[in-house]
Chains A and B, each alone.
Chain A
Amino acid sequence: QQPVQSPQAVILREGEDAVINCSSSKALYSVHWYRQKHGEAPVFLMILLKGGEQKGHDKISASFNEKKQQSSLYLTASQLSYSGTYFCGTVSGGSNYKLTFGKGTLLTVNP
């Protein structure tokens, strides 16, 4: 039930791009993306809903392939502030509203 994220960790230099992937074995109703910095609470980045609706920050982009139950988060022109652990969360829908998170992807952006 827990979505699978890849890669587990990635190291970038400032200005480089990265893609974080999230996949589920179940049909999805929504995909959530959050970022957590060390010692802090997770912070909302984006929600992608079945049917194409997206809600989130303008500087973040993501995709949601409903047929493949996959989502990708695109981080472009990375900044030092992008460092943190990125979590993908999924809701399978139906009568199941559990928002289940993956194990996270640790992103480190170096100068």
Chain B
Amino acid sequence: DSGVTQTPKHLITATGQRVTLRCSPRSGDLSVYWYQQSLDQGLQFLIQYYNGEERAKGNILERFSAQQFPDLHSELNLSSLELGDSALYFCASSADRVGAGELFFGEGSRLTVL
């Protein structure tokens, strides 16, 4: 158990819909990362937050948005969903701010868009 909690574990929805994925980081960790993992793809970096502020941004689509709240949990919002958005979405937390610390990954949220 990494200490990172992601909900929901599985989600099935239709194209055009909107979903919210939630992540609670490990106790004490201020950094939260979001990654997308599709079949035959590695871990695609989406975005990182540190103590409520956006720290780094990857190839995150405009239809996707994220935020980190004062209690440090984070949410990833995916809207106008397309079939290609089907993937496993991982959240990871770290005590480190600048990419020099271990990441602890949650079990992921598997999104299926039909």
What 7 A-B pairs are tightest by C-beta distance, nearest first? A91-B99, A41-B105, A103-B42, A101-B43, A97-B56, A98-B56, A44-B102
Q: Can you list 22 contacts pairing A with B, beta carbon distance less than 8 Å?
A: A29-B98, A29-B100, A30-B100, A32-B103, A34-B103, A41-B2, A41-B90, A42-B92, A42-B103, A44-B103, A47-B100, A89-B43, A91-B99, A97-B48, A97-B97, A98-B56, A99-B48, A99-B99, A99-B103, A101-B35, A101-B42, A101-B44
A55: Cβ under 8 A from any B Cβ: yes
| Size class of the contact patch on chain A | 20 to 34
* Residue pair B90, A97 in contact (C-beta under 8 Å): no
User: Which A residues, 82 to 111, have Cβ-Cβ distances below 8 Å to chain B?
Assistant: 87, 89, 91, 93, 96-104
* Residue pair B48, A43 in contact (C-beta under 8 Å): no
Contacts of B102 in A (CB 8 A): 44, 47, 55
* Residue pair A100, B100 in contact (C-beta under 8 Å): no
B101 to chain A: closest residue by CB: A47
* Residue pair B45, A98 in contact (C-beta under 8 Å): yes
In whole Å, how far is B72's beta carbon from the nearest beta carbon of chain A? 18
Measured CA separation A104–B45 after assembly (Å): 14
Contacts of A47 in B (CB 8 A): 100-102
Residues of B within 8 A of A (CB): 2, 33, 35, 41-45, 48, 55-58, 90, 92, 97-108
Contacts of B55 in A (CB 8 A): 97
In whole Å, how far is A34's beta carbon from the nearest beta carbon of chain B? 8
In whole Å, how far is B97's beta carbon from the nearest beta carbon of chain A? 7
In whole Å, how far is A53's beta carbon from the nearest beta carbon of chain B? 8
In whole Å, how far is B110's beta carbon from the nearest beta carbon of chain A? 10
* Residue pair A29, B42 in contact (C-beta under 8 Å): no
Contacts of A97 in B (CB 8 A): 48, 55-56, 97-99
A92 to chain B: closest residue by CB: B99
A49: Cβ under 8 A from any B Cβ: yes
In whole Å, how far is B21's beta carbon from the nearest beta carbon of chain A? 14
B58, B90, B98, B105: the one within 8 Å of A100 (CB): B58
